[in-house]
Amino acid sequence: MVAMEEMLHLGKAPLVGVVLAVVAVAVATVYFLSTKKPKACLDPENWKSFKLVKRTQLSHNVASFRFALPTPTSVLGLPIGQHISCQGKDAEGQEVIKPYTPTTLDSDVGYFELVIKMYPVGRMSHHFRELQEGEYMAVKGPKGRFKYQPNQVRAFGMLAGGSGITPMFQVTRAILENTNDHTKIYLIYGNVTYEDILLKDELDSLEKNYPDRFKVYHVLNQPPEGWTGGVGFVSKEMIQAHCPAPASDIQILRCGPPPMNKAMASHLDALGYTKEMQFQF
């Protein structure tokens, strides 16, 4: 009887070892899969199609478009401050390609979003006006000259106009949501009317949640009664008052309509910001 019990005991030992080995491999596999960086969906050389899953009208001429990625854990793979090219058809059925910056980051897994202002005669605006949920859009990227590493500057000044807010918003979100990034951001955002301000709720939320790191100053050409922000066009005086002064550890980013970009470059030059301190999206 004792001999039989010893044989059973000896037989269990190898089995227990096998079970432990299998469990160890399973745990290691789960850890590897959970820590493995998701593969980027973008291709810089080839167009890839993404399905529009949600369209939300934000105003009479602005809408947000949410596109699904291949899986719920997929990431777009867009570096901070870079953009994508979108392909569509104009009112004549001709192909049109235009760059856009998503308002989402790679921390927003499974989808990406574009906030689009649709102009009456814009060729790509026509495509977005006609684009319906369930349809696909071709995208290529990433594209862009902007390179960013956390804490590469002490502070950013940002000069945005109209839909030029989208790259600024993307960069701002990436910086503020990174607990290891201590960069401060000072944004001047110009529009014609109050209704033209894109992402206002989101900007207000960021300013409220990060009061020591993010400030936004709105400027309107046609302000409503009781408006307390800036009035007219963005001026040298506004830049002096609301952006960091020229220094080797700051940078001023600008993005807006061509006339605004030209005017801002002239203002920055006159205020002593060197070419190295300026970047235009």
Give the burial string for 234-266 (b: 16+ CB within 10 Å, else e).
beeebbeebbbeeeeebbbbbbbeeebbebbbe
- Its pTM stands at 0.83
Which residues share a beta bridge with 111? 68
Q: What is the pLDDT of residue 39?
A: 81
Q: What is the pLDDT of residues 156-179, one digit of tens each?
A: 999 999 999 999 999 999 999 999
Residues 62-78: tens digit of each pLDDT: 999 999 999 999 999 99
DSSP bridge pairs for 116: 63
Please list the active-site residues. Answer: 83, 100-101, 255
pLDDT of residue 139 exceeding 70: yes
**Domains identified in the chain and CATH numbers:** 48-143 (2.40.30.10), 155-280 (3.40.50.80)
Residue scoring higher pLDDT (18 or 93):
93
26: pLDDT strictly greater than 60: no
Give residue 23's pLDDT: 43
Q: How far is 81 from 70, CA to CA, in rounded Å?
A: 23
Residue 34 has pLDDT above 50, yes or no: no
- Give tens-digit pLDDT for 187-213: 999 999 999 999 999 999 999 999 999
pLDDT of residue 36: 58
Q: What is the DSSP string of 206-234?
A: HHHH-TTTEEEEEEESSPPTT--SEESS-
